[in-house]
Structure 1
């Protein structure tokens, strides 16, 4: 049964990945057709074509390897300086440029001269190239809003999960009491698993973060009001100082760092807490900022990723994860001993996070990514604007094809990084904790 659920999770993720890719390419396709650019192909996946159908002037299809997708627009690059697109040279870098330019004119038909991508105004080209990543952002926002507002955020609550029998310094990293350990204040006060703390020292408690701060700031007698079996019960506890895990500004525990603070002695239960629209927007803003920071930190994570893949080092939980790793996590989700609703939320958040990553990654101003074409169009608009201001001749379209040697280098680096991540995902995968 576990194997069946794992396979089911992987299959569902593959379907979600295909939908995300198709949705991305639909953004490019719809805006390209809106601006009169001819699109011969719309494909989801790479490799051999397993299904296709032609409708109008566009062939729609699915390919065997669901690792991406593309639409082919004619005239992605302007002609060379000689006005031709079939010239060749012995220079390897020049050949890259000319090959890319030639490919951009495949399937050119009479009358297509006015339907070439490069002939569109820069702002239209920006829209066409931005529309793909934007569709991923729209999908991510829609899923996150749905899960956060309809189901909630999986977070620690003010409900008691377990009560400690004794006082143990968290830096000792042990779970069992030793002779001489004093009784935990929560145990002595009569706190029980399932109690919901609604007030601390007479102040109403709204969330775990605020309650945790109040507890850590208190040493000595304190009053605790709990809901138990539908009734409110008042308890009195005598909090003591203890060495506890340090938390950051967001309330997350800092690994292997401890502080001395007030100690009550219970573990909070986790649960899904529905978020308001404002809270959901704030949460998505935090995820966007975290995603940007992850992209910035990506090069610094390569050594640890290499060690995890080939030297048996521990795989960090914030390590980069590829499609293979995400599929494995999806398979694990459906084997967890949690309610089906929680499994669904977990999976939807994984899919939303994947789409958010696609948006951020594709917006990097590097060819062959969408952001590289956007940067080229913006640069063309800028230099044409400068020429108009200073009454200079129009410099014409910016030849993005001249950047193809750089694009090949970037693509090579991306392929190497993708292979490294895939190896790490296979031999030393990230696991759900």
Structure 2
């Protein structure tokens, strides 16, 4: 059964990735057709064709390698004017790209080409794909946060510690006769109690109750709990315990000699029950923005992160849990999540969060301003618009459209680097996978 659940998690992620890629290409396809561009192909995947069907002028299909997708638009670049053989490898690559581009321009439909669109329409077509992934992420995070809810500590008691186990005894898991009773157990707390008030103050969150306990080491406080529909009065005396200080980002605080800074806080020995709390409808958008910022930071540090992945692969050092993953790594984590011994709703929420994060990665990565990524095509369109605007301001004749085929060598270099990056991450995710679930 565990193996089936593991495979089910992988299948969930593969299907989700396929849908995300498919809708990404729809984000390009729809505005292109609305603006009158002839679209010859809409394909999910690369490599050998598995299935296709022509509807009107467009062939829709699926290819063998589900690692991306594309639409083939007529006249992505202006037609070539050069004739004769090309001299040099790079010149030959440029010439081949121009010939392939010319073949997409159907006879009699020379006006239905991408490069003739106004700059703003070209930008819309190219941004349509990444924006589709952004919308998908918002929908997924909203469904998770507002539909399912986010797990939070409630005011109900899940467990009560029986005793105070000394911190120095690392292997001890159960209480002994010599261990003093925990304050909550001594006060009479029971699992299932719901906290009503502490020290005369009503409590509506476990965080508020915890703060009162932490602020009261060695001081007896009055507590009211609801038990089987009745209010029960208890008297709790938290014991003093040392707690390490953390900053606003949750990082340990140290003194000028690098030693951890601790403070004395009250400890009771109660654990809260977790429950799903439905969040406001805008929470999904807030979570999306946080993910965008995080993935953008990852992309900025990508060379260093990839170096660390390679170093951990060849030296056996610990792999950075915040580093990049391949599709293999994401699928493996999805399988592990699906196979964990947790409620189905918990597992589905984590998988949904993982798929939302994957769409954020597709959104951010495709905005990198390098061909063949969508951001590269946007830069070409904006450069074309800038040239025309400058010509208009200076009174010069309108220049010809920007010929992005000149950038084919750069495009090939970027493509090779992307393939190398993918291969490195796949090998690392197989040989030295991340263990995010502990």
Q: Provide the TM-score with structure 2 as the length reference.
A: 0.88
Q: Which residue of 2 aligns with 1:8?
A: 8
Q: CA–CA distance in 2 between the matches of 1:412 and 1:206? A: 56
Of 296-305 and 217-226, deviating more is 217-226
Give the Cα separation in 2 of the matches to 1:328 and 1:140.
21
* CA contact 2:196–2:202 (8 Å) conserved in 1: yes
Counterpart CA distance in 1 for 2:176 and 2:380 is 67
Which deviates further from its counterpart, 206-215 or 415-424? 206-215
| Structure 2 Cα separation of the partners of residues 12 and 36 of structure 1 | 36
- Distance of 2:325 and 2:385 partners within structure 1: 37
The separation in 2 between residues aligned to 1:65 and 1:335, in whole angstroms, is: 26
Q: Look up the match of 1:348.
A: 352
Q: 1:51 to 1:197 in 2, by over 3 A?
A: same
Alignment partner of 2:333 out of 326, 329, 333: 329
Counterpart selection for 1:263 from 222, 243, 266: 266
Q: Deviations over 1:303-351 (max 9, x none)?
A: 3322333333333332222211111122122212122222222222211
- How far residue 72 of structure 1 moved from its aligned partner, in angstroms, is 0.9
Structure 1 position 135, deviation (Å): 0.9
Distance 1:220 1:360, change over 3 A: same
Q: Which residue pairs with 1:117 in the alignment?
A: 114
- CA-to-aligned-CA distance 1:111-157 (integer Å, 9 cap, x gap): 12111111111111100000011111111111111121111113444
Answer whether contact 1:170 1:245 (CA < 8 A) is retained: no
| Residues 355-366 of structure 1 mapped to structure 2, 5 A cutoff | 355-366=359-370
Bigger CA radius of gyration: 2
Matching residue of 1:75: 75
SS at match of 2:339: coil
Report if aligned partners of 1:171, 1:258 keep a CA contact under 8 Å in 2.
no
Contact persistence 1:13–1:351 (CA under 8 A): yes
Q: CA deviation at 1:41?
A: 0.8
Q: Secondary structure at the match of 1:349?
A: helix
Q: For the residues of structure 2 that align with 1:252 and 1:160, how far apart are their CA atoms? A: 28
Taking a change above 3 Å as real, the CA distance of residues 259 and 96 of structure 1, as seen in their structure-2 partners, is: farther
CA offset digits 1:238-269 (Å, max 9, x no partner) = 23442335445366889996632413233434
Change over 3 Å in CA distance of 1:228–1:32 after alignment to 2: same
Q: How many Å apart are 1:51 and its aligned residue? A: 0.5
Q: Which structure 1 segments of 5+ residues have no match?
A: none
- Deviates further, 319-328 or 158-167: 158-167
In the other structure, the counterpart of 2:405 is 401
Structure 2 CA distance for aligned equivalents of residues 364 and 210 of structure 1: 44
The alpha-carbon distance between structure 1 residues 235 and 44, as it changes in their structure 2 partners (threshold 3 A), is same
Give the aligned CA root-mean-square deviation in angstroms: 2.9
> Of residues 190, 193, 218 in structure 1, which corresponds to 2:191?
193
Q: 1:35 to 1:182 in 2, by over 3 A?
A: same
* CA–CA distance in structure 2, aligned partners of residues 224 and 251 of structure 1: 30
How big is the shift at 1:12? 2.2
Report the Cα offset of residue 174 of structure 1. Answer: 6.1
Q: 1:88 to 1:258 in 2, by over 3 A?
A: farther
Matches within 5 A, 1:101-112: 101-112=98-109
Note the alpha carbon deviations across 1:4-39, whole angstroms, 9 max, x for none.
Answer: 121122122211111111111111111111111111
1-side partners of 2:35 and 2:340: how far apart?
Answer: 48
Q: Does 1:140 align with 2:101?
A: no
Residue 208 of structure 1 deviates from its aligned partner by 4.4
Q: 2:291 aligned with 1:292, yes or no?
A: no
Question: For 1:92-241, what aligned pairs fall within 5 Å after superposition?
Answer: 92-167=89-164, 176=173, 183-221=181-219, 222-241=221-240
Please give the alpha-carbon distance, in whole angstroms, between the structure 2 residues aligned to 1:262 and 1:349.
Answer: 35
**Alpha-carbon distance in structure 2 between the residues aligned to 1:280 and 1:231:** 38
Q: What's the offset of the Cα at 1:192?
A: 3.2
CA deviations 1:391-425 (Å, max 9, x no partner) are 23323322222222222222222222211111121
* Matched pairs, number: 430
TM-score (norm 1): 0.89
1:46 matched residue in structure 2: 46
After TM superposition, the structure 1 stretch with the greater mean CA deviation from structure 2, 71-80 or 308-317, is 308-317
Matching residue of 1:22: 22
Q: Any unmatched runs of 5+ in structure 2?
A: none
